[in-house]
Chains A and B, each alone.
Chain A
Amino acid sequence: MTTVLTAGLGLKPLYYDAALACPAAGLWFEVHPENYMVAGGPRLAWLEAIRAKYAISLHGVALSLAADAELDPAHLARLAALARRIEPALISEHLAWSTWRGTYHPDLLPFPRTSEALARIADNVSRTQDVLQRRIAIENPSHYLRMDGHAWDEVDFLAELSRRTGCGLLLDTNNVYVSARNLGYSAEAYLDAFPVASVMEIHLAGHATDANLGGALLIDSHDAPIAPEVWALYSRLIARIGARPTLIERDDKLPDFATLLAERERADAVLRAPLAKAA
C-alpha cells in the first residue's frame, strides 16, 4: 500500500462515532491489534466501519519480539488474520518484551542490548515479516532504568536490526525525550544519529512526571497534551528529514475528539512546512 499518510490519531472506542463523522482530509487511525483479536462481534464491526472510510495502522504491543523465545504462533496467526481482514497501511511493533513463558505482562519491558538479544530479535522480526508478508516498523522504547550490560547503543542496535531484517523503524519522539531526560543524554543527538531513511512512522504523545519521585522521572503516560519540548524536537526532525506519517497517541485522560483533532492539525502543519518551503 503506497498511500501517503499525513497526521493520524490513536483510536479509542470513545471516539468511534466522532471518528466516523469526521471530514478531516487525510486523517488516518491507529489501533492496538490485540483489542480486536476476537472471533466476531461489535468490536470487529466498528473497526471495519472505520476502515471503510480511513487508512488504519496496526500498532502491536504484545508480539514480545525481545523475549528470548520463538514467537507465539497462535498470536502471530491472529495478527495475520486481522491484517488480512483490515488491510492496514502500516504494521508496527516495539523493541521490547511482554510475554514470557506463557505469561503476558501488559507493559513494554526493557532488556540489555547484547548481540545475543539482537540475533533473537532479528529472528523474531524476520519471522513476523515472513508471516505477514510485509515490512513492519519497530519502535524505540521509553527508558526508566539505568542498566549495565548494554553492548550496543540503541540507535546502532535499531540500525543493525533494520539492516539485518529489512524492517522499518517507528520513531517515537516522546519516547526519545522521556528516555533522554530519565537517563541523562541528549535527545537531539539521539535524533541526529537515528537512521532516518528507515523511518516509516513517527509517534507523538504526552508524558507525565512521577509524583512519587518528586518529578525526577518522566513517564510515557500518553495521558496529556504533547509537551512543548517534544513539539520542538518533532519540528526540528521534520525540517531535517521531510514529512513522515505521524501519529498522535492518547490512551488515558481522554479529551474530546475536537481537542485531539487540534493537536493533529498542528502536526499536519509541521508536516506541510517542508513542502511549502520547497514549493
Chain B
Amino acid sequence: MPPTMPGALARFQDGFARALIEPDAAVTPEIAALASQPAFAVYRNTVMKGCIDALQANYPAVTRLVGEEWFRAAAAVHVRETLPADPTLLHYGSAFADFLARFQPAAELPYLPGVARLDRYWTEAHAAPSLSALDPAAVANLTPEALAGAVLHPHPAARWAWFADGPIYTIWSRNRVDKTLDAGFKWQPEGALLVRPRDAVEWIALDAGGCTFLDACAAGGTLGEAARAALHAQGDANLALLLARLLKAGAFRENAVQQRSK
C-alpha cells in the first residue's frame, strides 16, 4: 500500500465539508475532482434537505404562517449561516428566531421571530426532563407568612415569555394547532407559558405580571419577592389568582416547599 502523509484524511474532510456548503469555494485538486462530478450534488442535497427538514419540523407555526415554499427558502439561508452542531436535530434551530429578526425578507412580518421563539419553547418543553409537577395542595395550607417566604422552582419543562409588541401568543397558538384567527382578534401585548406536567406540552396565556413572577422564581426568589416584582411589572396583577393558575398549569416542579428566612 502507498504510504499516506499524516493529516491527509483531515485535509480531505476540511475540503469536502467546505465544498458541501460553498459550491464556489476554492478547494484542493483532490476535492475539486469530486465536487465537479454531478453525483456530488447527492451529498449537497442530502445535507441541505436534512437541515431544512429539521427546521421545518421544529418550526411548524412559522411554516404555517409563511407557507412551506417561503419557509424552506428562508431556512436554506439560515442553514448556510448556521449548520447543526448537535446530531439530535430536534435541538437544531436555537438561533432561528434571531435569524428571522434580522432576515430582510421577513421585515414586514414583525411577529415572526416571536412565533419562532414559542415554537422553540415547545421543542424545549417537549424534550425536557420528565419530573412531576408540584401538587397545589403542597402550598394550600401555608400561613400567609410561610407562603411569602416559600421558594418554588419552575418545572424543567416550563418556558414563558412576555411579548410587549404584539399578540404573539394568539398568533402562535392558532397556527400551532391549525386554527384560523378569531374575528375578535386584537393587536395587543401578550405573554405565554408552556408546560409539560405529563406527556404532552400544554400552554396558557400569561400576563406581564405572571412572566415577571416566574422570572423571580427562576432566580431563586421567594414568593413574596416574586409577588413584589409582579406588582412592579403590572400594577393590577391578581396574585392569588396568578399563583393558582401557575400551580394548576404545572409550572413548578415537585419538591418539598423550601422556606427562606427573611
Bound complex: CA of A144 vs CA of B51, how far in Å?
Answer: 21
Partner of B2, one of A37, A38, A151: A151
**What residues make up the interface of A, taking CB atoms closer than 8 Å to B?**
34-35, 37-45, 61-62, 67-69, 75, 97-107, 109, 111-112, 114-117, 120, 144-149, 151-152, 182, 210, 212-213, 217, 219
Most buried by A among B9, B10, B33: B9
Contact A112 B12 (CB under 8 A): yes
Chain A residues near B126 (CB-CB < 8 A):
38, 41-43
Which 3 pairs from chain A and chain B are nearest by CB?
A: A106-B50, A62-B87, A40-B130
Is B47 within 8 A of A106, CB to CB?
Answer: yes
Contact A144 B87 (CB under 8 A): no
Q: Is B66's CB within 8 Å of the partner chain A?
A: no
A217→B42 contact, CB < 8 A: yes
Contact partners of A213 in chain B: CB under 8 A: 38-39
| Of B30, B47, B88, the contact of A107 (CB 8 Å cutoff) | B47
Chain B residues closer than 8 Å to A145, beta-carbon distance: 34, 37, 39-40
Q: Which residue of A lies closest to B130 (CB)?
A: A40
- Min distance, Cβ A155 to any Cβ of chain B, angstroms: 15
Interface residues of B in 66-114 (CB under 8 A from A): 83-90
Q: A104-B86, A105-B20, A152-B1 are in contact. Are A114 and B47 (CB under 8 A)?
A: no
Query: Is B6's CB within 8 Å of the partner chain A?
Result: yes
**Mask of B47-70 contacts with A, CB within 8 angstroms, 1/0:** 100110010000000000000000
Q: Does chain A have a CB within 8 A of B160?
A: no
How many A-B pairs with Cβ below 8 Å? 133
Interface string of B184-196 (1 = CB under 8 A from A): 0000000000001
Having A34-B89, A61-B87, A146-B39, one finds 14 other A-B pairs with CB under 8 Å, namely A38-B90, A39-B156, A42-B126, A45-B130, A68-B9, A97-B13, A98-B87, A104-B85, A106-B47, A109-B43, A115-B1, A151-B2, A212-B41, A213-B39
Q: Which residue of A is nearest B9, CB measured?
A: A68
Q: How far is the CB of B155 from chain A (nearest CB, A)?
A: 11
Q: Which partner residue on chain B sits nearest A66 by CB separation?
A: B9
* Shortest CB distance A254–B (Å): 14
Q: Distance in Å from the Cβ of B225 to the closest Cβ of chain A? A: 29
* A interface footprint on B99-143 (CB within 8 Å = 1, 0 otherwise): 000000000000000000000000000111111000000000000
Min CB–CB distance B144 → chain A (angstroms) = 35
Known A-B contacts A105-B20, A148-B33, A217-B38; the reply to A100 vs B13 at CB < 8 A is yes
What residues of chain B lie closer than 8 Å to A42, measured between beta carbons? Answer: 126, 199-200
Q: Which of B24-40 contact A (CB under 8 A)?
A: 30, 33-34, 37-40
Chain B residues lying within 8 Å of A38, measured Cβ to Cβ, are: 88, 90, 126-127
- In the assembled complex, 11 residue pairs joining A and B whose CB atoms fall closer than 8 Å, in A order, are A41-B199, A44-B130, A69-B10, A100-B13, A102-B85, A106-B87, A109-B16, A114-B8, A116-B4, A146-B37, A147-B34
Partner of A40, one of B84, B87, B128: B128
The answer to whether residues A107 and B4 also contact, given A38-B90, A41-B199 and a CB cut-off of 8 A, is no
If the complex has contacts A104-B85, A106-B47, A115-B1, are A41 and B128 also in contact, measured as CB distance less than 8 A?
A: yes
Shortest CB–CB separation between residue B223 and chain A, in angstroms?
26
> What residues of chain B lie closer than 8 Å to A107, measured between beta carbons?
43, 46-47, 50
CA distance A78 to B47 in the complex (A): 23
Contact A35 B47 (CB under 8 A): no
Among A34, A103, A109, A217, contact of B85 (Cβ-Cβ < 8 Å) = A103
C-alpha gap A146/B33 in the complex (Å): 9
Q: A102 to B13, alpha carbons, bound, how many Å?
A: 12
* Bound-complex Cα distance A117 to B2 (A): 13
Q: Which of A41, A111, A148, A212 touches B127 (beta carbons < 8 Å)?
A: A41
- For the complex, give the distance between the alpha carbons of A217 and B127 in Å: 39
For the complex formed, measure the closest distance between the CB of A268 and the CB atoms of chain B, giving whole angstroms.
Answer: 31
How many Å from the CB of B182 to the closest CB on chain A? 29
Most buried by B among A100, A104, A120, A213: A104
Q: Is B17 an interface residue (CB 8 A)?
A: yes
Q: B46 CB to closest chain A CB, in angstroms? A: 4
A75-B87 in contact (CB<8A): yes
Whether the pair A40, B46 counts as a contact (CB closer than 8 A) is no
In the complex, A34→B196 CA distance in Å? 22
* Cβ–Cβ contact B37 & A111, under 8 A: no
Are A111 and B13 in contact, with the CB atoms below 8 A? yes
* Least Cβ–Cβ distance between A34 and chain B, in angstroms: 5
B residues in contact with A102, CB < 8 Å:
85
Q: Please report the C-alpha to C-alpha distance between residue A264 and residue B214 in the assembled complex, in whole angstroms.
A: 51
C-alpha gap A69/B10 in the complex (Å): 8
A35 → chain B closest CB, angstroms: 7
Q: Are B88 and A37 in contact (CB under 8 A)?
A: yes
